[in-house]
Structure 1
């Protein structure tokens, strides 16, 4: 076509990005096919491609991105996927900022920013960057603004360099202030200047006296050998190394060493200075001062000699090291199991969800078939046992998402009393005690109740169903000595104790009590994960757990949880949440096809209108194209450029905000911090039942 042969057409484009732009299918965007582009658009692209600076054009209200070779390097791993993408989809973490840019420039305005600070995701990690940004409108052939031309110059290195320079200046001023204070305090022992080019040392009269130079010494030409000879032999190499380091790198010179006095004794001094460089970057001058620190060093040495004579300190250090090594081994074991468990749990729980979802659908479709209902019930019970096993593994590995709340152990005991008695049987008594003014803890209440119930059942089995279990809680202050090597700090704690008078454990059994899959019960009577789960939960909650036992004397388990001063949430009862479905529109985002199909059918049975997406990239595209939804029900771990937390962050800033419900077999800490969910994050763990799904959806939609 004649138009493409025009000097303003794509025939004049050059570079790698020119080829990519020609090869891209633009008919999928508002720009239309390449041969239909306007002369103004072609000219703007040609100018942009010829620029050595990073430039990107955002065309139309959606801001479809066209950029040059320099910008492709700035885009990093997002290139070449940014080409032809709406800017809000390509850079979701700064979507609001880019929307303001497009709206302003399409209205005819311009924008510029100097060292603009932004947080961008690079390799999936948030990173602070600084940039010079310049935005101006690009007109169409009729002269109306149709796009935005952006020039992007990253200044991160320059900003960081400037901050370092400022820090160096601050340090230099601090050194000067220290010298001034030393002068005022009379602690200055002299000043010196080393002319590096001429290799001449000069100093004042105090400096000459400090180093015991001969009388009548020329202050402008001091012998360096005399000064070196007065430095303690053990300190000379150290002093020379620090001088060389300062000359080579410009690092401030601060060295403590000893100088021999005329009577043969030694004086501790601090030499402080810096190397100065000329315009060519060559070291030429090294000024400094000497400050008397003798009294301080003598006091430090006396204290050191005193502490070195304390045998108890040595014993404590040895014990702490052995404990730390054991904790390291335990931590490495936990991390190894946790990494394996996380991956297995995610896939395993997805499989369980597919099975559970289809079983529930089968039960709904065959309500009058007794055989079907009986077999479905047995299968669902097996699914629940599998889910419990997965949950126990995650608990031991400290990878279960927690929902902590503020409460006292007296509240826990009041709620557990009846349940414990039913679970333990009438032939076993439970004695509970708590202080009159119990301290509060910030812990996941459901997990704590499960831990207490688990320990009580272990105690029942150890006593063969007869006897008394003592369950008590105490306010206790732990000192530093007790906390050493236990992974907790000294302070106020709430101690929960469960004691029995059962058969007890031998030392070799006690040493393995917390290890996963270790059990002394007969085959089929235990998984060996009970104590492991309790151990992982307590550690993940910032606490500590101990177990003491002797054969024939019973067992006592003690859990320590940090006291909290947080205010408890309101205990006002919430109105009953409607558990049936509704008419709202839900966007289901799930990469596992089998899970997605079953959950969509469950939700449609409840009356919801459903949209689906296989990953967050597709979901964001649907939403940016104008789809209105009341709730986003999204898996946590999915492939794609956009991650589920970014999708949720986008939903939160809409007007009105879009509700988000996460689901996962294992979150991998993507939506949690140290596996603790924030109060505004809703998670439905896989596998889940239709009732749990509908109840959670109604809860989230009602806010």
Structure 2
């Protein structure tokens, strides 16, 4: 049979007379498919093999055993409503024929045609039934895609250790997932009502929780709170609950839908940290008392041992702060790297889902919304990686004066009419070694922070100046440029200033900031070999200064865009990734682009394939894999297949020590269009020049003493 015949054909049961042959001929002449059968058993056999509708003469089933047919109709999946056309004798329609009425009630989706029928009537009804059946098949496909999307979302929820909950208003009916129940000490099968939740809240946190919930119900603002819960076994735990209002069409709140997570470990660590800080404060107080006693006993000592003690204390404090920020940076970088991988799977599958969806605008809006959320998550991870100094930067000599002047219009539009922007840029400043895109984002962040610190308006000065570092312990001695953003705003208290660059710390109200702006700028400055210096006075304003290293060469002139390379339409690609979720998503995208994929889950596995006779046009590998990294795999692969192009896909910028990498890199998370662009470039290059460049991509070097 041709494609579509089985799923759209009309099965005709009319064993007496010429009705079957006439109906079949008319249906086929109209461009549809039709098969005849002799009895109910034959009808069932044909329907189970796939059909669009059934055309049945009423005399063929009046006395027949219909239990099998009725059972099949009742067991249809939710998307299916199998259409039946019932041929009755003249005057035998459902209004005048109780038997026809009974059959219609038993069989469900029935259309009656009285014989003798007009050919146009039969063809019209069959056409309508086939089109309706096609819509049912489309609905089936949509439901299957939605099921896959829900599974992907659940995977992401599980990966993030998040429980789901919904609180329906106004009756406060609670529905919670098994994971959510577990965070309140309940088994997955046990009932968990809203009253159970209220009873679990720690008595000291109930009033605060009630006030925040009432504010959400009254205003529709997002619900976000951390509080303690008491499990049935008496143990105390912490939960983080976040929810958003879902509204009726009239604007009233229908329910609160959100997630919860267990933050007991983090809260315990915070309490331990506060205890440790208190102990350190007590020790510092004791040290001060001891110093005072020594001063009283040893009068001959000059005010100069005191400067030494103060300097040592400052150095110790700086060391403690540096160690704390380093630990936070490592943790932040690891979380951002793992989250990048999750976003890679989400964005890749959403890209493919959008290409295969039917033309339903609502479904496209839903998928586009999910993609926008994933892209915002990708932007968030870039900020985290910048703070952790693990973002891939490309530092080049840049004229800072020209860069700031070029940003003038953008800054003025961002700051608004109530803020005056003033530039103080001396002539003939040396170029700085920076990443242009990241520096522009940092300047914009600092300017917006300054604007937010001046709710009644004011002035912002952006100043550039040359500076030489000599005795600053945070910088290498040498020449630098200082880029300062000065505001006349409300300023920061000492305790706020001390924590200003910590990730997720913000003095702004909830919902007004991520707490990542200054931490991103700090990470960028340190990664470039500079620093972020903050000075602030309450009521007078804040000065944020980016210290950036001077470049050793002049800015490069703009070069013309390279000519597009010829695209290789199809290729055999060796895909190497130890994460099954990422490997599956990437393979789907590659195959959708027309390539054939060979998968390997480790470096040694990939080498086994490379040593075989299998033809391979390109190898695409992740970097952070156990046992053998992607860079190490690329190095060893040169010994097996020196001519093979290699594409490194990674969201992690801190590559192996002792290795300089010039491999083409694809930053995670990426869209299918970005993947196609990289592949087209690599596969379309000339063999000689391509292999010369790629073959020199990984070079071992000895670090300077």
What TM-score results when the alignment is normalised by the length of structure 1? 0.51
Cα 1:620–1:416 shift into 2, 3 Å: farther
Structure 1 position 596 matched with structure 2 position 583: yes
Cα 1:382–1:503 shift into 2, 3 Å: same
- Residue of structure 1 in register with 2:494 after alignment: 507
What per-residue deviation string (whole Å, max 9, x for no partner) do you get for residues 536-555 of structure 1?
22122211221111122111
Alpha-carbon offset, residue 357 of structure 1: 0.9
Structure 2 residue aligned with 1:643, among 621, 629, 636? 629
- Residue of structure 1 in register with 2:274 after alignment: none
Alignment gaps of 5+ in structure 1: 1-308
Cα 1:471–1:629 shift into 2, 3 Å: farther
Identify which range, 388-397 or 547-556, moves more after superposition: 388-397
- Residue of structure 1 in register with 2:82 after alignment: none
Q: Distance in 2 between matches of 1:660 and 1:445?
A: 27
- Residue of structure 2 in register with 1:462 after alignment: 453
Alpha-carbon offset, residue 467 of structure 1: 3.3
Q: Does the 8 Å CA contact 2:484/2:543 hold for their aligned counterparts? A: yes
What per-residue deviation string (whole Å, max 9, x for no partner) do you get for residues 184-212 of structure 1?
xxxxxxxxxxxxxxxxxxxxxxxxxxxxx
SS of equivalent to 2:369: helix
Residue correspondence of structure 1 range 485-564 to structure 2 within 5 A: 485=473, 487-564=474-551
Residue correspondence of structure 1 range 198-213 to structure 2 within 5 A: none
Structure 1 position 358 matched with structure 2 position 349: yes
- Residue of structure 1 in register with 2:50 after alignment: none
Structure 1 residue aligned with 2:428, among 407, 427, 437? 437
Q: Distance in 2 between matches of 1:331 and 1:566?
A: 31
SS of equivalent to 2:407: helix
Q: Distance in 1 between matches of 2:313 and 2:615?
A: 60
Cα 1:621–1:317 shift into 2, 3 Å: farther
Q: Distance in 1 between matches of 2:564 and 2:410?
A: 24
Cα 1:653–1:516 shift into 2, 3 Å: same
Alpha-carbon offset, residue 390 of structure 1: 2.4
Q: Distance in 1 between matches of 2:412 and 2:565?
A: 32
Q: Distance in 2 between matches of 1:603 and 1:349?
A: 19
SS of equivalent to 2:397: strand
What per-residue deviation string (whole Å, max 9, x for no partner) do you get for residues 357-409 of structure 1?
11111111126221121111111111122222222222222222322222221
Alpha-carbon offset, residue 454 of structure 1: 0.9
Q: Distance in 2 between matches of 1:672 and 1:688?
A: 26
Q: Does the 8 Å CA contact 1:577/1:695 hold for their aligned counterparts? A: no
Q: Distance in 2 between matches of 1:425 and 1:381?
A: 26
Alpha-carbon offset, residue 510 of structure 1: 1.5
SS of equivalent to 2:375: helix
SS of equivalent to 2:499: coil
Q: Distance in 2 between matches of 1:449 and 1:420?
A: 10
Cα 1:438–1:608 shift into 2, 3 Å: farther
- Residue of structure 1 in register with 2:419 after alignment: 428
Q: Distance in 1 between matches of 2:422 and 2:613?
A: 61
- Residue of structure 2 in register with 1:631 after alignment: 618
Q: Does the 8 Å CA contact 1:424/1:465 hold for their aligned counterparts? A: no
Q: Distance in 2 between matches of 1:580 and 1:452?
A: 39
SS of equivalent to 1:373: helix
- Residue of structure 2 in register with 1:342 after alignment: 333
What per-residue deviation string (whole Å, max 9, x for no partner) do you get for residues 621-670 of structure 1?
11122444343211111134x33222111345677543322222435x33
Aligned residues: 386
Structure 1 residue aligned with 2:318, among 322, 327, 332? 327
Alpha-carbon offset, residue 497 of structure 1: 0.8
- Residue of structure 1 in register with 2:156 after alignment: none
CA RMSD of aligned residues (A): 2.9
Alpha-carbon offset, residue 449 of structure 1: 1.7
Identify which range, 403-412 or 526-535, moves more after superposition: 403-412
Identify which range, 692-701 or 576-585, moves more after superposition: 576-585
Structure 1 position 696 matched with structure 2 position 683: no
Q: Does the 8 Å CA contact 1:441/1:494 hold for their aligned counterparts? A: yes
Alpha-carbon offset, residue 411 of structure 1: 4.0
Q: Distance in 2 between matches of 1:369 and 1:447?
A: 38
- Residue of structure 2 in register with 1:292 after alignment: none
Structure 2 residue aligned with 1:407, among 385, 391, 398? 398
- Residue of structure 2 in register with 1:682 after alignment: 664
- Residue of structure 1 in register with 2:648 after alignment: 662
Structure 2 residue aligned with 1:396, among 372, 387, 392? 387
Alpha-carbon offset, residue 496 of structure 1: 0.7
Cα 1:411–1:606 shift into 2, 3 Å: farther
SS of equivalent to 1:502: coil
Alpha-carbon offset, residue 558 of structure 1: 0.7
- Residue of structure 2 in register with 1:227 after alignment: none
Cα 1:612–1:562 shift into 2, 3 Å: same
Q: Does the 8 Å CA contact 1:478/1:491 hold for their aligned counterparts? A: yes
Cα 1:650–1:433 shift into 2, 3 Å: farther
Q: Distance in 2 between matches of 1:313 and 1:695?
A: 65
Cα 1:579–1:393 shift into 2, 3 Å: farther
Structure 1 residue aligned with 2:464, among 440, 458, 473? 473
- Residue of structure 2 in register with 1:25 after alignment: none
Higher relative contact order (CA 8 A, sep 6+): 1
SS of equivalent to 1:535: helix
Q: Distance in 1 between matches of 2:554 and 2:438?
A: 20
Q: Does the 8 Å CA contact 1:581/1:603 hold for their aligned counterparts? A: no
- Residue of structure 1 in register with 2:192 after alignment: none
SS of equivalent to 1:564: coil
Q: Does the 8 Å CA contact 1:651/1:657 hold for their aligned counterparts? A: no
Q: Distance in 2 between matches of 1:575 and 1:465?
A: 49
Cα 1:392–1:312 shift into 2, 3 Å: farther
Cα 1:453–1:695 shift into 2, 3 Å: farther
Alpha-carbon offset, residue 678 of structure 1: 5.2
- Residue of structure 1 in register with 2:32 after alignment: none
Q: Does the 8 Å CA contact 1:588/1:600 hold for their aligned counterparts? A: yes
Residue correspondence of structure 1 range 51-200 to structure 2 within 5 A: none
Alpha-carbon offset, residue 424 of structure 1: 2.9
SS of equivalent to 2:475: coil
Q: Does the 8 Å CA contact 1:580/1:606 hold for their aligned counterparts? A: no
Residue correspondence of structure 1 range 11-50 to structure 2 within 5 A: none
